[in-house]
Chains A and B, each alone.
Chain A
Amino acid sequence: MRRLLVAVAALALAAAGCASDLPPTGASAQPSAAPATSAAASAPASAGTGAQSDFFVQADYDAQLAMRSQTAEGPADKPWEQAIAPQMVDTAKYKKDGPYHLCFSNAAVNNPWRQVGWTTMQEEVALHKEIKEFTALDAEGKDDKQISDIAELQAKGCDALIISPNTTATLTPAVSGACPEVPVIVFDRGVETDCPVTFIKPIGGYAFGADGAEFLIEKVPAGGKILALRILPGVDVLETRWSAAKVAFDKSQLQVVGVEFTDGDAAKTKSIVSDYIARHGKIDGVWMDAGATAVAAIEAFEDAGVPVPAFVGEDQQDFLQKWKDGNLTAVAPTYPTYQWRTPIIAALKILKGEEVPKMWNLPQPKITQESLGTYLQPNMPLLHYALCGCESMPGFPGKWGGK
């Protein structure tokens, strides 16, 4: 335990505080302890965005940004069945007769996004009579548990194994080990092997990050102050979001006054934003790598009695409601929860010997002022994600907690 008379140390610190000037604006933008900041492709630091992330891969970035404007193939009213620029693979060797036993190793259900997705997946399973059994194990956010879950599922006679990996690198050997035994479908986060039959994901983090940053660049006048809020460093799916935003901000006339880590905690987010409002007087735009704490950040402006600036959130109902009620200037990039439907559909296609895309890139729409009305569903819980693609499923809205 820590403690005892911080007196002397704190006094010394206080004295230092009196004597020194504040660092120049933007100095706080170096996420110093982040493992991902040792400058790979270094960009001008003058924008206040710090060094580029080690996770940044130019080719992936270019591909994702290009995919945003490509038309997806498949039924337009079922984006979870659509694929952008699919390269189909043959699955004849996996063909077998039903009924099927599908298995799922889930990284976690420890946030509302995953809860909505998990409900959606279970409802998708219920739609298919040819699935006689669905075995799912929850790794509770632990790599080691997921590794043993995957091993356990291989002994259960699954016809297909769906994996949503907890982390990319650590789960790769486990996924590689499962591939020869059973057709494997990976979705959400990726793995460093192409042995799965298909990898399902929305366009990706670069597109998500760029959607938000481009909106702020369009709406905030040149020289405007931007606060960027990130959850935590070192996670690939979040690093890509920020690195794409950084590229956009570096090219813009906007000034990024801070890049802060919130741990995804509402209270911490609100405190950080309050401090920035106090420090800078005015913040002209807030970029976020995930919208779960967007409402807490908005409340910091409300409680400070200043207008809410241009905001980047996500497709959670609480944010959409705030957006409408406060008539905000906002955008909501999404990482659609409808992607939880696709693995079940893919598994059945594979077992029926139908070809599937090797990289199944799902469309990743953003919610704008024009489409806000479509996605705001006051009958749904505040933590519900609008892009569940679940509105026409039999259990809707009750299974998702709606009225």
Chain B
Amino acid sequence: MKRAIPIFVVLAGLLVAIAVANPFFLEPAGFLAFLKRVAPLAILAAGQYFVIVSGEFDLSVGSLVTVEVVVAARLIDGDEAMTWPVLILLVVIGLLVGLVNGLVTTKLRVPSFITTLGAMLILSGAVFLWTGGAPRGALSQGFRVFGREGVWAVAILVVVVIAAVLLMRADFGRTLVAAGDNEKAARLSGVRVDRVRVFAFVLSGLSAAVAGILLGGFAGVSAQVGQSLEFQAITAVVLGGVVLGGGRGHVVAAIAGAFTLEALFTLLNLHGISGALEYAVQGVIIIAAVAVGGLRLPSLRLSPSKV
């Protein structure tokens, strides 16, 4: 947990900066609005964490989120009665895509970078084919309540965080980290590496389904809803000090990374840095971060403690 401390310091600093710029942030409604906005990315970061800590990537979550929202809108088409069946279907889609990603990566030995990049392209192409390029239909009010009502979004976020922490404390968590840290050693000591990795991908797919439900609820149907979310999720995870390549990092820190990223976006917006310049600022920060990470990495490798 030690390596997670910097991210909390940064997050606290950003939150103070936001509060200074916008005192409304300190009121319950203001903070709730922030939590509501963070929730989808935080959930995606949790899902991405499982995959990254096991030594893999999941690049498909962004287009999976888009698929979930577009499918939901088309199938619900404004009909309240369809809300729950479609919600269940969305979860199943998320689990299935994760399962396929996991099986292709572990059984067919396709590197996850390629597997999930392929999945990303297949999903975007499928959505394009099915919709003819633009989303159709509408989400029901019953569906939208999860993303629109702050209380719901926050409740779902809390459940996800607790579940993630419990999972990482269970045997699954230890074997997952072991698989990412040293695959051979893990195999020799009896860890079923493939099985935990497949499960990690399934969790990532599930997180994309939940994030899609929240994002669709937040702002309604859109074909761009998932755009670049996979990169935001990976950035968040790495911001939380989780090492790419696996084996090191804490899930709470990864979620804190998502909070930090969203807080940074909020702060930039509050200071009127918007549009294309926002990307430029992000780019500078990311390059700086990689440089800093490169400097830090060797000393991390020497440290004997793992998590």
Measured CB to CB, the residues of A under 8 A from B are 1-11, 13-15, 17-18, 22-23, 27-28, 31-34, 108-112, 114-115, 140, 233, 258, 260-261, 263-267, 269-272, 274-275, 278-279, 295-296, 299, 303-305, 318, 381-383, 401
Known: A33-B280, A111-B134, A267-B218. A6 touches B272 (CB 8 A): no
B32 to chain A, nearest CB (A): 10
Rounded to whole angstroms, the CA-CA distance of A261 and B260 in the bound complex is 23
B18 to chain A, nearest CB (A): 8
Give every chain A residue within 8 A of B275 (Cβ-Cβ): 31-34, 233, 260-261
Q: Which 10 residue pairs of A and B lie closest in terms of their CB atoms, listed nearest first?
A: A4-B293, A33-B276, A28-B272, A3-B238, A17-B17, A2-B286, A14-B13, A110-B133, A266-B219, A267-B219
Known: A10-B14, A10-B260. A382 touches B290 (CB 8 A): no
Question: Would B219 and A296 count as touching, CB distance under 8 A?
Answer: yes
Known: A2-B289, A3-B234, A381-B138. A265 touches B224 (CB 8 A): yes
Scoring A9, A14, A22, A112 by chain B CB atoms within 10 A of each residue's CB, the highest score goes to A14
Scoring B9, B13, B20, B274 by chain A CB atoms within 10 A of each residue's CB, the highest score goes to B274
Q: Is B197 an interface residue (CB 8 A)?
A: no
Rounded to whole angstroms, the CA-CA distance of A7 and B267 in the bound complex is 15
Give every chain B residue within 8 A of A110 (Cβ-Cβ): 133-134, 223
Give every chain A residue within 8 A of B22 (Cβ-Cβ): 278-279
Known: A261-B274, A383-B136. A5 touches B296 (CB 8 A): yes
Question: Would A15 and B293 count as touching, CB distance under 8 A?
Answer: no
Question: Would A10 and B285 count as touching, CB distance under 8 A?
Answer: yes
Known: A2-B231, A2-B289, A279-B22. A267 touches B135 (CB 8 A): no
Smallest CB gap from B238: residue in A: A3
Within 8 A of A (CB), among B145-168: 148
Rounded to whole angstroms, the CA-CA distance of A261 and B224 in the bound complex is 14
A172 to chain B, nearest CB (A): 24
Question: Would B276 and A10 count as touching, CB distance under 8 A?
Answer: no
**Which residue in B132, B219, B239, B271 is a CB contact (below 8 Å) of A6?**
B239
Rounded to whole angstroms, the CA-CA distance of A381 and B132 in the bound complex is 16
Give every chain B residue within 8 A of A31 (Cβ-Cβ): 275-276
**Which residue in B14, B132, B220, B284 is a CB contact (below 8 Å) of A295?**
B220
Give every chain A residue within 8 A of B294 (Cβ-Cβ): 4
Q: Is B37 an interface residue (CB 8 A)?
A: yes
Question: Would B9 and A299 count as touching, CB distance under 8 A?
Answer: no
Give every chain B residue within 8 A of A295 (Cβ-Cβ): 220
Rounded to whole angstroms, the CA-CA distance of A360 and B283 in the bound complex is 46
Question: Would A271 and B37 count as touching, CB distance under 8 A?
Answer: yes
Number of interface residues of B (CB under 8 A): 73
Smallest CB gap from A138: residue in B: B133
Rounded to whole angstroms, the CA-CA distance of A15 and B275 in the bound complex is 22
B255 to chain A, nearest CB (A): 15
Question: Would A13 and B264 count as touching, CB distance under 8 A?
Answer: yes
Given A7-B292, A14-B267, A267-B215, 18 more pairs with CB closer than 8 A? A2-B290, A3-B237, A3-B238, A5-B238, A5-B289, A6-B10, A6-B261, A7-B7, A11-B10, A11-B13, A14-B10, A31-B276, A115-B133, A266-B219, A271-B37, A296-B219, A303-B33, A383-B134
Rounded to whole angstroms, the CA-CA distance of A358 and B5 in the bound complex is 69
Give every chain A residue within 8 A of B267 (Cβ-Cβ): 13-14, 17
Measured CB to CB, the residues of B under 8 A from A are 6-7, 9-10, 13-14, 16-18, 20-22, 24-25, 29-30, 33, 37, 78, 132-138, 148, 215, 218-225, 227, 231, 234-235, 237-239, 241, 244, 260-261, 264, 266-267, 269-277, 280, 282-290, 292-294, 296
**Which residue in B13, B17, B270, B286 is a CB contact (below 8 Å) of A279?**
B270
- The prevalent SS among residues of B at the interface is helix
B15 to chain A, nearest CB (A): 9
Question: Would B234 and A1 count as touching, CB distance under 8 A?
Answer: yes
Rounded to whole angstroms, the CA-CA distance of A261 and B272 in the bound complex is 12
Give every chain A residue within 8 A of B286 (Cβ-Cβ): 2-3, 6
Question: Would B138 and A382 count as touching, CB distance under 8 A?
Answer: yes
Rounded to whole angstroms, the CA-CA distance of A286 and B250 in the bound complex is 43
**Which residue in A2, A261, A296 is a CB contact (below 8 Å) of B220?**
A296
Question: Would A112 and B134 count as touching, CB distance under 8 A?
Answer: yes
Rounded to whole angstroms, the CA-CA distance of A299 and B21 in the bound complex is 24
Smallest CB gap from B230: residue in A: A1
Question: Would A261 and B231 count as touching, CB distance under 8 A?
Answer: no
**Which residue in A1, A111, A279, A296 is a CB contact (below 8 Å) of B231?**
A1
Question: Would B148 and A303 count as touching, CB distance under 8 A?
Answer: yes
Give every chain B residue within 8 A of A401 (Cβ-Cβ): 136
Rounded to whole angstroms, the CA-CA distance of A15 and B14 in the bound complex is 8
Question: Would A140 and B269 count as touching, CB distance under 8 A?
Answer: no
Rounded to whole angstroms, the CA-CA distance of A269 and B276 in the bound complex is 15
Give every chain A residue within 8 A of B132 (Cβ-Cβ): 109, 115
Known: A5-B292, A22-B21, A381-B137. A10 touches B148 (CB 8 A): no
Rounded to whole angstroms, the CA-CA distance of A321 and B252 in the bound complex is 43
Rounded to whole angstroms, the CA-CA distance of A304 and B148 in the bound complex is 11
Scoring B135, B271, B294 by chain A CB atoms within 10 A of each residue's CB, the highest score goes to B271
A29 to chain B, nearest CB (A): 8
Rounded to whole angstroms, the CA-CA distance of A2 and B20 in the bound complex is 29
Scoring A6, A274, A296 by chain B CB atoms within 10 A of each residue's CB, the highest score goes to A6
Question: Would B148 and A299 count as touching, CB distance under 8 A?
Answer: yes
Please list 25 pairs of residues, one from A and one from B, whose beta carbons are closer than 8 Å in the complex, sorted by A's number: A1-B231, A2-B235, A3-B293, A5-B241, A5-B289, A6-B288, A7-B10, A7-B239, A7-B292, A10-B264, A13-B264, A13-B285, A17-B21, A18-B17, A22-B270, A112-B134, A266-B220, A266-B225, A269-B219, A278-B24, A278-B30, A296-B219, A305-B29, A381-B136, A401-B136
Known: A6-B286, A6-B289, A13-B267. A18 touches B238 (CB 8 A): no
Scoring B78, B219, B293 by chain A CB atoms within 10 A of each residue's CB, the highest score goes to B219
Give every chain B residue within 8 A of A265 (Cβ-Cβ): 219, 222, 224-225, 227
Give every chain B residue within 8 A of A383 (Cβ-Cβ): 134-136, 138
Rounded to whole angstroms, the CA-CA distance of A381 and B74 in the bound complex is 11
Give every chain B residue within 8 A of A305 (Cβ-Cβ): 29
Known: A9-B288, A11-B9, A28-B274. A115 touches B219 (CB 8 A): no
B279 to chain A, nearest CB (A): 8
Question: Would B133 and A108 count as touching, CB distance under 8 A?
Answer: yes
Smallest CB gap from B226: residue in A: A267
Scoring B21, B37, B222, B280 by chain A CB atoms within 10 A of each residue's CB, the highest score goes to B222
Give every chain A residue within 8 A of B137 (Cβ-Cβ): 381
